[in-house]
Amino acid sequence: MTERRWTGSWLTGTPATGEAGNHPGERFGLPAEGAGSVASMGRRLLALLVDWLLCMVIAVASLHSQRWTLPIFAAETYLLTALTGFTVGKRLLGIQVVRVDGRPVGFVWALVRTILLLAVVPPLITDGDVRGLHDRAANTIVVRTK
């Protein structure tokens, strides 16, 4: 049997044999539906769009330039995820970032997750639990709150 290295635990795109469940999040003890279940990619993308548009409005209204959208988006995502697990878009769509081990996301893991999110490609590579590479690196998962 081969041993998974630390990086292999979050870089691989699919769970190893025996880790996959019948529904996303089952191996983490999450329900199949309703509050606490894994958020769908559609909800996650819509929340991302809401956050991006909000940051664009803030950038144009306060700084009169769209070029500040990305830094404002990065700051919003980082700070709100670290402190609450929610961004404005996630709160509106009823989803939240939580650590798999139950601890708060915190500033260090929120930074890792945000940097990888801004790289665009890591969030697109998901596993059977709909966790992108940014979630796997930060040991987080996005769940429904309603």
Domain membership flag for residue 83: yes
- Entry pTM: 0.80
Percent of the chain with pLDDT over 70: 86
Domain membership flag for residue 84: yes
User: pLDDT (tens digit, 9 = 90+) per residue, 87-139?
Assistant: 999 999 999 999 998 889 999 999 999 999 999 888 888 888 899 999 999 99
Q: Distance between CA 83 and CA 76 in Å, rounded?
A: 11
Comparing CA positions, the residue from 19, 23, 42 lying closest to residue 94 is 42
Domain membership flag for residue 9: no
Full domain range(s) for residue 70 = 40-144
Domain membership flag for residue 3: no
Domain membership flag for residue 22: no
Comparing CA positions, the residue from 126, 100, 128 lying closest to residue 20 is 128
Number of separate domains in the chain: 1
Contact 141, 34 (CB under 8 A): no
Domain membership flag for residue 4: no
Domain membership flag for residue 56: yes
Contact 142, 44 (CB under 8 A): yes
Beta bridge partners of 126: 132
Would the pLDDT of 146 be above 50? yes
Domain membership flag for residue 23: no
